[in-house]
Structure formats: C-alpha cells, structure tokens
Chain A
Amino acid sequence: MAKIKIDGIDTTVAEGMTVLEAARNIGVRIPALCQHPKLTPFGGCRLCLVEIKGFPRPVTSCTTPVSDGMEIVTTSPTIERLRRTVLELILSDHPNDCMICEQAGACTLQELAYEYGLRENRFAGERRVYEKKDGNPFIERDLEKCILCGRCVKVCDEVQGVEAIDFGYRGFDSKIVTSFEDDLNCEFCGQCVSVCPTGALTGKQWAKHGRQMGVKETDSICSYCGTGCTITYHVKNNDIVRVTSKEDTLNEGWLCVKGRFGYKFVSSPDRLKHPLIKKDGEFREATWDEALDLIADRLKKIKREDGPDAIAGLSSARCTNEENYAFQKFIRAAVGTNNVDHCARL
C-alpha cells in the first residue's frame, strides 16, 4: 500500500494503481479523453496532467503509478492553463458541427469545451479534411472528428484481439487507418464505437434516429447467445434507436455485432401484428378472442377424443423464464401431458 496526498487529502491506495485511479477513488475528478478504465494507459491527450512534488514537470496521471509519499496537485493555475491550451489545440482541428453531430450530448470533447468555455480559438488554422468513404454497413468513421486518443486502436487489439486499425502517417497528418486504407473489414463488434469519446465513430444505423433529447434508456439483457450481456436500449417514439452497454456491467460494456447492431428486426415490417387463422389454406386476420377460443376448443376436443398425450408443446430458449415456466405448467396442468420440450438440443 502507498500513502499519498491528493490535493491535500491523505489517502492510502494499492501500489501499482495510477494517480488518476487513486484520485477518482476519493472523488477527485481529473479530465481525460484518451484514458479508459478498461484499457492500458495511453497518455496522449495530456488533459490529465497533474503536478507531483519533486517531479520536474507536470505528468499525466493516467500513466503514472503511485508511490509511497507522493504529493499530488490535480488543479493549479498552471495545470488549468495547460488543459485549456490542449483543449483549444484539439478544437482548432475539429469540425464545429455539434449541431448536426450524432454524438452531441454524449460527446466528452463537447462537454469539456463547455466546461472550459471555449468559444474563440487562438490557434485557428488548417484543419484535416477527409473524404468519408468507408463502405462498411455498420460503423460510420468520420476521421475529421477523430482526436487520435487511440482508444479504438487499443480496444480492437487488447479486448477484441482483432487489430483491424492502427495509427498511420505522422504528426498533424496522423490518422487511424485500416490496412491499405480499405473499407473497415473486421468483426464489427463496435467496441471502438463504444469507447470513442467524440463523434468520430458512430453506428451507421443510428443516423438521424435520435440523439439525447427525448430518448429513454432501458437496461435489459441481450436476446442472442447464452452469454447474457447487459444492454441498454435507447428508445425514441417507440423505436429502438441505439443499443449500448454500460461499463459497469458483467460484460464490462463489451458486445458483439449482433448485440450492438442487430436490433432492427424488432421494428421489421414483417412482424406479425394480428392473430391469424388458416381457412382453406389461406390465413385471415382474426381477433384474439376468436383465435384463443378456437385453440381452446380444438385442444379440448383432441384431449377428449385422443387423450392429453396426443398433444405436445414446444417452447423456446428465446422466451423468458416466466414464459417457459408458464408454458410447461400450461401443458402439464391445463392440458395434462408431459409432452413438452424446447430446442436446447439444437
């Protein structure tokens, strides 16, 4: 354990922890753009600079491990001036189009610009201009909005193990590139989208469906494989506009292509909307009462004539515990047979 002092507060933290983590532990907020709790430190955005007694210059708190006796100052006129300069530099190379940006309201850069009240920019100059040309169906890559924090590169390598993207070129011309700058072709897990602090990476299917205003978030469980990832539905006008996952979930915020981008079937025009009864080989729409009465009559008749074991029920691994419980109870108690199964085997 290391005894340290942060902004005059004494605290004891585990060795190996970074200064940033230690500060957050005791509720001291340090701004950061490139740091992400699930990824190895990068130290590129320079917003989390702090002063440490005995160090010749400010250091990034996200990369500096604590050591016993450290005295840390997280905010001072110098530190705030540096943060402001860094933010201003980032914004001098960032499109000013928050009004049409998909991430407005959920953008860390926008939040920081607001916090520091940055409207004028001392450094206005040339901005990077790129043609948007990635034809993949899932992920919109707007590299003009990219602040090169490297989170996407790290998550793709460290978490997903895919290494589909990396830094290319140098200096001001640096950009995140795919191999040979082709269209992104990866597992499309969208982990990069989830960690992007700006609007550089967004879901293509999100576009123009709804940002923050009026969007309701509901936590639930993904309905694809058996992993059971916790997801958050973003809903506007009874329509799912995004699926995300929070960092503090058991799946640590990570999802796969199906979980993150495979939600549009819900609003598919193919959905069944009315009970249907087949007559002479054709389906016709019916009311619920008509349909349920018909089912009840037919099942009663078969049960009466052929016995309950002439009836069987197949339930689904897609349905909830409650539905499955009710279904088998229905087959066993209301119909009177144990002919009930589901697709676990298939």
Chain B
Amino acid sequence: MHNITVKVCMGTGGIAAGGDEVLAAFNREIAAAGIAASVGKKCSAHQVGCRGLCAKDVLVDVIINDSKVTYIHVKPEMVSRIVKEHIIENIPVAEFVAGDDYHNFHNKQFKVVLSDCGSIDPEDIESYIAVGGYTAAQKVLGSMSPEETTDLIKKSGLRGRGGAGFPTGTKWEIASKQTSEKKFLICNADEGDPGAFMDRSVIEGNPHAVIEGMIIGAYAIGADKGYVYIRAEYPLAVERLKKALDDARGRNFLGKSIMGSGFNFDILVKLGAGAFVCGEETALIASIEGQRGMPRAKPPFPVYQGLWGKPTVINNVETLANVPYIVRKGPEWFASFGTEKSKGTKVFALTGKIKNSGLIEVPMGIPLRQIIYDIGGGIEGDRRFKAVQTGGPSGGCIPADLLDTAVDFESLAKVGSIVGSGGMVVLDETDCMVNIAKFFLEFTRGESCGKCVPCRIGTKRLLEILERITKGEGRPGDIALLEDMSVDIKMASLCGLGQTAPNPVLSTIKYFRHEYEAHINDKKCPAGVCRDLLTYQVISEACKGCGACLRACPAKAITGDKKQPHVIDPSVCIRCGACFDVCKFKAVKKE
C-alpha cells in the first residue's frame, strides 16, 4: 500500500453527472475500508476540474504510485467495487475502464492552458502551487521590469483568444505607454457563444492560472485594479473564482505590495446579467460602469480610453491563463507550437454530431480533419459529415472538401469563417444548412443590443427572409438579397456582433447554395429538416397495413384498412414525422 490518489471530475459536467455523489462514495468506502487510517496523508480522494470529455462523465482517475487508471461513466454504486478490487487488491475493474476512444481523444491533443485542469483541485491553492503555480508571478514581480514582461509576451507570439486574435503583447505595450494615474485590467469571462464552455472550464478547473495571468498583465501595464467580468449563469465558476481570489489574497498574491514587490493589485468580480453583447469589450465596460450594455464606436480603443475613461486592457480568460505557462516555460517554448502567425495552442468546444464531444486543446495549425476524426472520433452514427461551423454564431460553415484546412486565424478567415472564441459545431447529412443559418440568426437577432440600425433591423430582416425560405415561401431573388444585405450589414454595423452576424448566412450560401435553391425553387428541403417543405407518403408496396402509423398520427391524416396499404392525406398531415418514426417496415417516405 503506497501513494493513492483518486481524482473525481467535478466540473459543471461532472457534477451534473453525479460527481458529488461519486466523490462522497469514494470517501465513504475508503474510510470504511480503513485505508485512510492505514495510509494516512498519502491517501486522498478529491475533486478536479473538467478534463474535456464530458460525454463520458463521471470520470475518475485512480492513481496508485504514479500508475493512472481512468474510469468512465462512474456511478456511486460502482465505487465499492473500484475501492475493493483496484485500490485494495490492485486489480483495475476492467469493465469500467476507459477505452481507446478516451485515450485517442486525449493523446491527439496538446495541453498548455488545460494542462493542470482535471488534475489539480481547483479549490485548493496548494494544489496549484504544488505544480509550480505562482512561480511565474514571483519571477516577474521579483526580477523583471514591466517592459521585459511585455517583451516576453510579445516574443511568445500570443494572440487574444477571445476572437479577434490581437497580439496580446502589443496590447499590453500600448497600455503600458499610456500616462494615466489609473489603469485597469479586465478579464473577459462573459462567454456567450451557444455551445461554448472553454472559459468556464478553465475557471472551474484552474482559477489560479487566470489570477496569476492577471497579476502578470497588471504588472506589465501598470494597473492596480482588475475586474473579472463573468456570466452570472456560471455559478460554479464564480464560486471557485471567488474562493481562489480569497486564497490568493491570503497568500499575498493579491493586495498591497504583492510578495513584497511593492506592486499593488487586486481583483473584483463583476457578474454579467446574461447579455451576449456584453462580451464585446466596450459593452462590457459600459456594463461594469453601470450603464446599459451597449457597445460604442472604436476608436478610441479601450487601451486608450476604457473603463471610466482610463486606459484599460481587456483579455480573454484563455489568453490570461496562457500567460503563467509562457513565463514559466519561456516564450520560445510557446512559440514552438502553432504556425508562423498563430502561435501556441487553442481550446475548442467540440460539439454537434460528433462522437466525442467535449473540450479540446490543440496546437494552432492542426487540420480540421484531425480534430473531427482523430480526436472527435468521427460522426455520430457514422453518418456523412456535411460541415463544421466554427467560431460561434459569428463564424461560418466549412464544407467537407475543405476539411484539410488548418485551424489558425488566417486559414479559417480565408475560407470564410473564424477561430472566434473556439466553438466548433459538427454538422452531418441530416442538417439543413438554411435551417442552420436561421438558427444562428435567431440567436444574433435576439442578442443584438439595438443600438445600431444594420444590426437591430438588419438581422431581423435576414431572419425573416430565412424563415420564409424554410417555410417554402422563398422568392426568386432572395439569395441575392440575402447576400447584398449581409455584405452591407457586415460593413455598416457598429460592433463585432453585427459585423459578423451575417457570416453563417454568407458561408452557407457560398458552400451550400444548392440547398437554398432547392428550398426556393423546388420547395424542398434536401436534408428533410424544414417541416413545411416535407411530404410524407406511404409506399404501398412496403406497407403491411399494421396500423401503427394510423394510431400514431395526431392529426388523423392516415386512413387504411387492416392489412391494406395505408394512405396519408397531405392536406391534413402536419408533417410531424410520427408515422415515419413508428413504421417498422420503412414504408413511410419523407421528401
């Protein structure tokens, strides 16, 4: 009996899958077995942050003398067996152990930001310190000038991970050169893209890395006050962040004369009220100031006039979390990953019709195909891949023939999409691209702040046209109108929201024009998604007359005698698809 560590995934995903109960069960079983008493401090079971593959939660690592075994889909009732067989008898419970797909998912990744997520206890500052935490801040504050710090980040080639990809070192440099008695550093944790949870996972899994990054950034630019602007919908992240801030203050990593350096800095947490647009930096500033979260025109940029009119640097969570690792391992190390213009790694939230959906970190420049097939394990149900939508609602759809596109700022822009904050939604043959465009427009139209005309009214009109196309009311000329409007809205809108909102429309028209044409000209939805365009028919030859469809039809649109082919009356049919789903003989045809 030696060193025993049990790590239970307790990010939001892990807790939702029952991580709490699993951890409690381990503690209970270990105590009952008397292991803790016999092994003492060398035995512990603790929570860790998300390690990415939420689809297989609750994930549990059992580490005995550096030999790690990972269990998937752990339920409390499985715990006693794991304790008995694995911990006591040292025979892993083979039927619960993660398989190849779990390891493939991880092995193809390269982790910087997430390197300690899922391994350390996010609520224990000692756990972060034990893996080298706060040594970067100590080094910077103790032995480097602000200029040297900025230079170091510049040399690393780090670019903002929030979407625009502005070089972080340059931003810091501009801010550091502003003469102002007051400057601010804001961490933007208002992650609002649908399906994105990169920032949340980082804060839940390793909040101290973000804090340490902020200390270094604040020192570089000369700010004595920082804010973390975080969504109120992230209660666990907020709780862990606040605890981490308290612990950091307790260790004098924050506050007056941090670690005796003479540098003062502290961080306030500001909760966002759920407006997507508050992720835009000027709207975020307005929100902190107590104003309605509406963006304002730039220039002047926040680095010149930001919060309360003072020079303000706004960095994304992931950007800041990179900083301590860059300082610790050197800018050359960081710059050795990625492409010429896009250095380092990027975290993505891989979702949609993919087998291994979850959080991944990959070096910049990796081909899309590797992400989807090697890490993601391919398409669910082995259907045909159709497109991948990157960059959240502002991004574009990339079709199958561009799957070898490299994932970096420049390459994705070239094919009409963006890296964005790191959303990646995989679409397959059962997805209608017009409907996908409509989905994203519904989101941006609802989240437009209403300040500028092209976004406020333009997104509404785009959506109206997409709606009529999916209803079979599309008109000749609609595609051209959509394209014209999209171009104008992009060019005329005030902030990033409006400037990118038409991207899903433009990129789906670019790569899937035939689907639009089918909707408008033939009144057909090739993917069989747009309900108003579907027709359901019984194939007489295949119908056995079992009556299952007749019973399932809520509209009483199906008639037919027993053992005789049934018939669907299209004027009564509401196209719900119940007959299609219920037919065992594939006798219902959907077009």
Q: Do A and B bind each other?
A: yes
Residues of A whose CB lies within 8 Å of any CB of B are 41-46, 49, 57-60, 63-65, 78, 81-82, 85-86, 89-90, 92-93, 122-123, 125-126, 147-148, 150, 166-167, 169-174
Residue B403 at the chain A interface, CB threshold 8 Å: no
A170 touches B461 (CB 8 A): no
Residue B91 at the chain A interface, CB threshold 8 Å: no
B375 to chain A, nearest CB (A): 34
B189 to chain A, nearest CB (A): 21
B454 touches A46 (CB 8 A): yes
The residue that B297 contacts in the complex, of A63, A82, A169, with Cβ under 8 A, is A63
What are the residues of chain A within 8 A of B453 when measuring CB–CB?
44-46, 86, 89-90, 147
A46 touches B448 (CB 8 A): no
Q: Of residues 441 to 470 in B, which have CB atoms within 8 Å of A's CB atoms?
A: 445-461, 464
The residue that A92 contacts in the complex, of B297, B457, B481, with Cβ under 8 A, is B457
User: With A58-B492, A170-B448, A171-B448 given, can you name 17 additional A-B contacts, CB distance below 8 Å?
Assistant: A42-B451, A43-B452, A49-B492, A65-B299, A85-B454, A85-B488, A85-B489, A86-B453, A89-B454, A89-B458, A89-B461, A126-B464, A148-B456, A171-B445, A171-B447, A171-B459, A172-B460
B454 to chain A, nearest CB (A): 6
Q: Which residue of B lies closest to A78 (CB)?
A: B491
Residue B275 at the chain A interface, CB threshold 8 Å: yes
Distance in angstroms between the alpha carbons of A167 and B456 in the assembled complex? 13
A122 touches B481 (CB 8 A): yes
What are the residues of chain A within 8 A of B455 when measuring CB–CB?
171
Query: With A170-B446, A172-B448 in contact, is A86–B454 under 8 Å at CB?
Result: yes
Residue B296 at the chain A interface, CB threshold 8 Å: yes
A199 to chain B, nearest CB (A): 18
Residue B28 at the chain A interface, CB threshold 8 Å: no
A125 touches B460 (CB 8 A): yes
Give 7 closest A-B pairs by Cβ, nearest first. A174-B450, A171-B448, A63-B297, A43-B297, A85-B488, A172-B460, A89-B457
A64 touches B492 (CB 8 A): no
Q: Of residues 529 to 578 in B, which have CB atoms within 8 Å of A's CB atoms?
A: none
A43 touches B445 (CB 8 A): no
What are the residues of chain B within 8 A of A148 when measuring CB–CB?
450-451, 456
Q: Which residue of B lies closest to A150 (CB)?
A: B451
How many positions in chain B have a CB within 8 Å of any CB in the partner chain? 35
What are the residues of chain A within 8 A of B484 when measuring CB–CB?
85
Distance in angstroms between the alpha carbons of A340 and B4 in the assembled complex? 106
A172 touches B456 (CB 8 A): yes
Residue B248 at the chain A interface, CB threshold 8 Å: no
Q: Which residue of B lies closest to A45 (CB)?
A: B453
B52 to chain A, nearest CB (A): 33
Distance in angstroms between the alpha carbons of A92 and B481 in the assembled complex? 15
Distance in angstroms between the alpha carbons of A64 and B299 in the assembled complex? 6
The residue that B450 contacts in the complex, of A65, A89, A171, with Cβ under 8 A, is A171
Distance in angstroms between the alpha carbons of A92 and B461 in the assembled complex? 9
Residue B476 at the chain A interface, CB threshold 8 Å: no
What are the residues of chain B within 8 A of A65 when measuring CB–CB?
299-300
B300 to chain A, nearest CB (A): 7
Residue B55 at the chain A interface, CB threshold 8 Å: no
The residue that B491 contacts in the complex, of A41, A82, A89, with Cβ under 8 A, is A82
B292 touches A166 (CB 8 A): yes
What are the residues of chain B within 8 A of A42 when measuring CB–CB?
451
- Residue of B300, B446, B457 with highest tally of chain A CB at under 10 A: B457
B326 to chain A, nearest CB (A): 28
Residue B493 at the chain A interface, CB threshold 8 Å: yes
Distance in angstroms between the alpha carbons of A89 and B250 in the assembled complex? 56
B296 touches A85 (CB 8 A): no
Distance in angstroms between the alpha carbons of A42 and B453 in the assembled complex? 12
Residue B485 at the chain A interface, CB threshold 8 Å: yes
Q: Of residues 344 to 380 in B, which have CB atoms within 8 Å of A's CB atoms?
A: none
What are the residues of chain B within 8 A of A126 when measuring CB–CB?
460, 464
What are the residues of chain A within 8 A of B446 when measuring CB–CB?
170-171
Residue B406 at the chain A interface, CB threshold 8 Å: no
